[in-house]
Amino acid sequence: MKILAVDIGTGTQDIFLYDSNLDPENGFKLVLPSPTLMANRRLRRRLRDSRRDPILICGRQMGGGPSSWAVEELVRAGIPVYMTPSAATTLNDELDKVRALGVKIVSEEEGGELQFARYEFKDFDFPLIAKTFADYGVSLKDLAAAAVAVFDHGNAPPGVSDRQFRFDYLDERIRAKNSLAAFAYLAGDIPKSMTRLQAVADSARNLDCPLVVMDTAPAAVLGAGFDPVAAERENKIVCNVGNFHTLAFRLNGKGIAGVFEHHTGEIDLPKLEGLLGKLADGSLKHEDVFDDMGHGALMYADEIFEFGNDDFDVVVTGPRRSLFNRQSESANRKSLRPYFAAPFGDMMIAGCFGLLAAAAEILPGLEETVSGSLRGGRGRRVAPWDENP
């Protein structure tokens, strides 16, 4: 059984090919530039051309940040930028705000008639991933499933804060199913408001296997839990320090006891540790994060989680986890002791392992095999060179 897991962030897209015949440590993996970073680099090459010929961006909604910044830079440089509505939502779900940036919105039909240089936006490029594996002699034609994670703010109604809308969504999912896997869906079950997840599913219509999509941060936290040290502790706080967003879950035997989400660029180590302390003692309030330009906080348990009872205080994962290595501004302040999770020896693939666990939970037929692999079970194991090509 093979399952493709793709965790798409701002800096990288982390790809893992699960094979039930192999121990997870022997699975094939790729850590590549993220789609939004790739789009940024392709678009910014236009700036080297002294001509200012117009371009058309079509495709689907994808991760913003670098891709959006490149579009804005082209417009400022005097290059006419045309975008189809679905691609334009990458910059903002409210297209009038995209037009206000100087971008011209055209219909799909109008775009098809324009003889401009074309660029396609999309997060999940399965043909490109399949070709990359094929170049190394690995086929993706026999997949049992594919699982993809992206961060989705959701399409907030006009006048509603994107940050508040996302946190209301997190609250609804946790109350419906108190599990990290609550943030994973089969392609046909994605809420209409989760437009980026929908775009991933739309880009994968030609897949001949089931597709599971999931939010990136819960996937990373779920995956970090397969680190053998982290797995030993039932009650724990797991903090994912991403390039754009930092999210921490407080977990207990019943599921999720609390969560907060902030923008990584808005926090330093003392602030982050202060939030983690409030998450632990149950005093964290939504406004503690939201009023500081973060997304918010939710608490579901009154019990106090006490630091100092083990060799570490918080499990840490994510590409910006080095934040915990920085010296405190106050030499007298006691810092939290981090444990840097590395499930199956690789922190960068933590989200992929979370995707696999969530896919196994919601897809009948995968659970016994996948869960056995992730939890250290042993089925038939072969060396990579003994596989059938």
Residues 194-223 pLDDT 10s = 999 999 999 999 899 999 999 999 999 999
pLDDT tens-digit map of 313-349: 999 999 999 999 865 554 555 789 999 999 999 999 9
Pick the CATH number of 2-35+125-220+351-386 from 3.40.50, 3.40.390, 3.60.21, 3.30.420: 3.30.420
Pairing of strands 55-59, 184-186: unpaired
**How does DSSP classify residue 366?**
T
* Torsion angles phi and psi, residue 185, rounded to 5: -140, 150
pTM of the model: 0.94
pLDDT tens-digit map of 165-176: 999 999 999 999
Domain 39-121, second-level architecture: 3-Layer(aba) Sandwich (3.40)
Q: What is the pLDDT of residue 309?
A: 81
Position 375 confidence tier, pLDDT thresholds 50, 70, 90: confident
Q: What is the pLDDT of residue 381?
A: 57
- How would you class 352 by CB atoms within 10 Å of its CB: exposed for 0-12, middle for 13-18, buried for 19 or more? buried
pLDDT tens-digit map of 145-158: 999 999 999 999 98
Judge whether 201 and 190 are in contact, CB under 8 Å. yes
Q: What are the residue ranges spanned by the domains of the chain? A: 2-35+125-220+351-386, 39-121, 228-341
Position 376 confidence tier, pLDDT thresholds 50, 70, 90: confident
State how far the Cα of 145 lies from the Cα of 359, in Å rounded to an integer: 8
233: CB partners within 8 A, 6+ apart: 310, 315
Q: Does residue 377 register a pLDDT over 80?
A: no
Which tokens go with 251? 């977990």
- Taking residue 309's Cβ as centre, other Cβ atoms within 10 Å add up to 9
* Torsion angles phi and psi, residue 18, rounded to 5: -75, 135
